[in-house]
Structure 1
Amino acid sequence: MDGMERSRRSLSALGLPERDLGELPDSHKRFPDGAQYRVEIPSVEGPGPFQAVMDEAERHGIRIHRISQGSGMMLLADAEIEQMVALGRERGVEVCLFVGPRGGWDIGIQTTSAAGGGAAAVLRGADQLAYGVEDVIRGCDLGVRSVLVADIGQLWVLGRMRQCGDLPPDLEIKASISMPTANPAAARVLEDLGVTTINLPIDLTLAQMAAIRAAVDAPLDVYVESADDFGGVVRYYEIPALVRVAAPVHLKFTVRNAPSLYPSGAHLADLAVATARERVRRAAIGLSMLRRHYPEAKAGPGAMTT
């Protein structure tokens, strides 16, 4: 015993694990189609990179279930969003687009300070909150049914809007990695707010993930390889255990040693396409390891929504 019995009993009374689950229990939770895992390719910054992802996936013979984007809907033209939605619908791929406005691109100085980086993704003030909501409304009007959100206040607003019919009832709300969800209680709060899929920090142990999985039913999104500006972890040999412990889980593949794409645009078009292709190649490598070490792991036939 560690002398923290009262605290641990309080967690247990709230339906949360008392400690990290070092025994790494298999998760028996699943996606609606019975799948344990799906594959997500992040940082797909427009129709060109999206088409490159589809072409590369076909070349490697793998299934991509979700693509996500980081520069925000506000930096995509209407026609670009419509093209991405149409391609997602055609290929059965969930298209998850980020909210554009964020503190790090605003005029505030805190996000540039040594201790203020955590505020980079939040919405500053009521006006910027309205801008963020407007970005989602515009995306939904253009056919988007999956959005990536990094501000807890906006999560609350979007959840309420979806409940009362101001947003589509099938709208998927994905919590960004920029809003670290590092413990079971934080994950429970997000799920209670209406989040339907939760990005985890890139550096959680399997035991920590298992504790979060025990607390929530929403799919967890886990980076197998992450970008350098998020720490650059490379966890390929952990994939079988990730699937066992965290299911239902989106396995996310980006690449180290690559420049940041945010905000993307025509000036970075070649880089966006090249890195998109490499992320798919990395996913193919990861899935080959999963087949080798956990061949019975089940992937679903399609995405949640397009």
Structure 2
Amino acid sequence: MTLQRTPVTEPSPLPRQPGEPALSTLGLAAPSPDPADTSPHAFPDGGTWRVEIPSVEGPEALGVVLKESARLDVPIHRISQGSGVWMLSDAEITEMVETAAERDIELCLFTGPRGTWDTGASVRTDSHGAGLRARGRDAVAGCVEDAVRATELGVKCLLVADEGVLWTLHRARSAGIIPGGTTLKVSALIGPVNPASYAVYERLGADSLNVPSDLTPAHLTEIRRVSAAPMDLYVEAPDDLGGYVRMYEIGELIRRGAPLYLKFGLAKAPGIYPYGAHLRDITLDTARERVRRGRLALDLLARHGADTGMSPLGSRLPGDLNRFPEGS
């Protein structure tokens, strides 16, 4: 496999590690980072990280996020939604597309049926069966229907939770069924946990991949040795993804995992999928708080001298990636 690399144009200085120099004074200095662990990759614009606000479930939530991001000066590259295209009307999608475009922010909507909302009993068992994957051809068809509808309304990024759906939509954009510039994002709920599977998702058509938030920095280095595909990582994960809060690791996560989307979920918050008006207050409150978590993370990066390397606002493309031949 030929690995495409977009090198960082100017190496960023190593960030100050949490607790330093106080711990060094006390004889508890951290070991120096190994330069070999630093990711050799970047986004095509030369940046090493971007910001994503997830779980933005409709036009009203999007408005709240944008208002709060302006108030707190939180830069945003991507907004993503979790309930699915099917939970939004054409008018709502169009409004979200236009609002995001005004701010030059990528809008990403989730596609189609998922096993957890299906009639299959296996996902209710302790093993969770096939999880979120699309069960049967009809479920794949629903995802494709969502993709065609969303892209016709101007959506440029689609979130998927099934390998077969990913490959199908990759082939669809190659065939012109959906626009060639559409980006495909892999959900954290099926995110790869090793370098071999990460590389397979890239070759199936993924343009960015959520990885579970419990991967260690060493795991990120292993992935970066085989793939340059952008990575999405919850710095704070919702409870159903573990509830991890990794604020103090952000500098190291960027160093090892670049190119990296920093995602700000929210622990200790109720689930809101699939969203409806009955969940309005909690959805708007949590959307607002996710932006505030982003501000806290950016402040921490600045204190540690790790806030350089952000992609220019408006950047969305992943760069050259490796794909399986489509005739295979």
Please give the TM-score of this superposition, normalised by the length of structure 1: 0.90
> How is 1:61-210 mapped onto 2 (pairs within 5 angstroms)?
61-116=73-128, 119-210=130-221
Following the alignment from structure 1 to structure 2, what is the Cα–Cα distance between the partners of residues 77 and 135?
11
Residue 240 of structure 2 corresponds to residue 245 of structure 1? no
Deviations, residues 215-269 of structure 1 (Å, cap 9, x unaligned): 1111100110000111000000000111111111000101111000001011111
Identity of aligned residues (%): 46
Following the alignment from structure 1 to structure 2, what is the Cα–Cα distance between the partners of residues 29 and 120?
32
Q: Which residue of 2 aligns with 1:47?
A: 59
Change (3 A) 1:14 1:54: closer
Unaligned runs of 5+ in 1: 1-12, 16-21
Contact 2:186 2:209 (C-alpha < 8 Å) held by counterparts: yes
Contact 1:243 1:297 (C-alpha < 8 Å) held by counterparts: no
Deviations, residues 35-78 of structure 1 (Å, cap 9, x unaligned): 11111111110111111111111111120111111100001011
Change (3 A) 1:93 1:14: closer
Contact 2:59 2:96 (C-alpha < 8 Å) held by counterparts: yes
Q: Which residue of 1 aligns with 2:238?
A: 227
Q: Per-residue deviation at 1:297?
A: 2.1
Residue 283 of structure 2 corresponds to residue 272 of structure 1? yes
Contact 2:298 2:307 (C-alpha < 8 Å) held by counterparts: no
Contact 1:181 1:187 (C-alpha < 8 Å) held by counterparts: yes
Unaligned runs of 5+ in 2: 4-32, 318-328
Deviations, residues 116-153 of structure 1 (Å, cap 9, x unaligned): 25x23111111111111111111011101100000100
Match of 2:185, SS state, is strand
Deviations, residues 9-46 of structure 1 (Å, cap 9, x unaligned): xxxx998xxxxxx9462123111211111111111101
The Cα RMSD (Å) is 1.7
Following the alignment from structure 1 to structure 2, what is the Cα–Cα distance between the partners of residues 233 and 303?
29
Amino acid corresponding to residue 238 of structure 1 in structure 2: E
Contact 2:235 2:247 (C-alpha < 8 Å) held by counterparts: yes
Contact 1:37 1:247 (C-alpha < 8 Å) held by counterparts: yes
Q: Per-residue deviation at 1:294?
A: 2.8
Match of 1:80, SS state, is helix
Residue 205 of structure 2 corresponds to residue 218 of structure 1? no
Contact 2:54 2:80 (C-alpha < 8 Å) held by counterparts: yes
Amino acid corresponding to residue 58 of structure 2 in structure 1: G
Please give the TM-score of this superposition, normalised by the length of structure 2: 0.84
Q: Per-residue deviation at 1:92?
A: 1.0
Match of 2:190, SS state, is coil
Amino acid corresponding to residue 124 of structure 2 in structure 1: T
How many residue pairs match? The answer is: 287
Following the alignment from structure 2 to structure 1, what is the Cα–Cα distance between the partners of residues 269 and 103?
27
Following the alignment from structure 1 to structure 2, what is the Cα–Cα distance between the partners of residues 217 and 67?
22
